[in-house]
Structure 1
Amino acid sequence: MKTKIIQITSGRGPVECCWVVAQILKYFIEEIKKAKIEYTLLQRELGTENGTLQSATIQLEGKALESFLSNWLGTIQWIGKSSFRKFHKRKNWFIGIYEIEETEQTNLKESDIKFQAIRSSGPGGQHVNKVSSAIRATHTKTGIQVLVMDSRSQHQNRKIALKRLQEKVAEYHNEQLKASVQNKWENHLSLERGNPVRVFTGTDFKTQKKTKSYKPKRQESKNNLRQQK
């Protein structure tokens, strides 16, 4: 299954846009669930008012993500009167939904790690230096490395080195993801106002309920009875 990271952003717009982000996030998650796509909410940047969000970042995992996102990625337009500023004349509000480049998986592969046995240094004198028990582990793709000399056992130091390298590489990728999210924040300054992929209308996003009326049928029945008489 594929994985994608999506950001919903207000484009540093006014409070109305932040309100739209919060509403769209709910609507977006509803459609995710209907499509049976797994999701993880990675980040939410709160707005200045209760119930508003400047941005939200979501990780999606599932099949046919491209097809699902084709109806979402781009500019979202909301047409409606402001619920925060009742006398404000503006009725068009825009937010953006973008894909953040996926970072590399943090699971280490044996082929991506270079182990090197070296002589330990520190307490123990000459006896320690006679055996190359210390281990230097290097992640070849990132250049991250750790040096472990906790034990006199080379095998034990190798296990410890693998665990510490895993933690360092995971931390590295987390920092990369944060940087990617921060870079995407620049989208807030350049939201495309034209050609929205979806348009919503009204001061809320509640599903419009159709009220069934039986009056026309009743009237039709009365007319039929009259004609029969």
Structure 2
Amino acid sequence: MSTMVSGVLAAAVLLLLWRVDRMTEACSCSPVHPQQAFCNADIVIRAKVVGGREVDSGNDIYGNPIKRTQYEIKQVKMFKGPDRDIESVFTAPSSSVCGVTLEYNGKKEYLIAGKAEGDGAMHVTLCDFIVPWDSLTATQKKSLTQRYEMGCDCKITRCTSMPCTIGSPEECLWTDWVLEKSMSGSQASHYACIKRSDGSCAWYRGTAPPKNDFLDIEDP
């Protein structure tokens, strides 16, 4: 094989690897505690997906059509959002650009958190908190109405390696990854970070309403 041909093949391989690497990096999300996802979202709902199709959403700067997936949903309950039902959820057409794939058999229910688009619509990405409703714990379900909002002024700091510390009393240290090697560990599944009466924040476990003045973690 000639040197020129070898050079062309090598360049082609490098280009392919670069494109694959770019696609892999195209959607990169930092893990967030469910409470953070709730606080960051404009809208949080429980819903069934009843249909889906690809739609045009204008053109890019080069005049090429922008494709998105539009899911038609039946809202079951709204936990956070406008005073009207959400009827459509929009997302990018593929996971490489953070698009979300949802089943639309009309039976499976999801918890969907995302950004408002107006006119009964919202936009979601893979970085948003979107999970099957049945996969949530009892504490998570209860926290959607009674806990998470109480801690939106707090900051949840993710610990990635020991030792790790918080920088202020308004922070809760999230240690699921270092202690359980999972982002769905006990703190994500059973705890909420709540502001206490003295202005500091602490983890609270349980589904019953907290005391007016609690200083330590409470069990159910």
Identify the structure with bigger relative contact order (alpha carbons < 8 Å, sequence gap 6+): 1
**TM-score relative to the length of structure 1:** 0.19
Decide which structure has greater helix share: 1
Decide which structure has greater strand share: 2
**TM-score relative to the length of structure 2:** 0.19
* Bigger Rg over Cα: 1
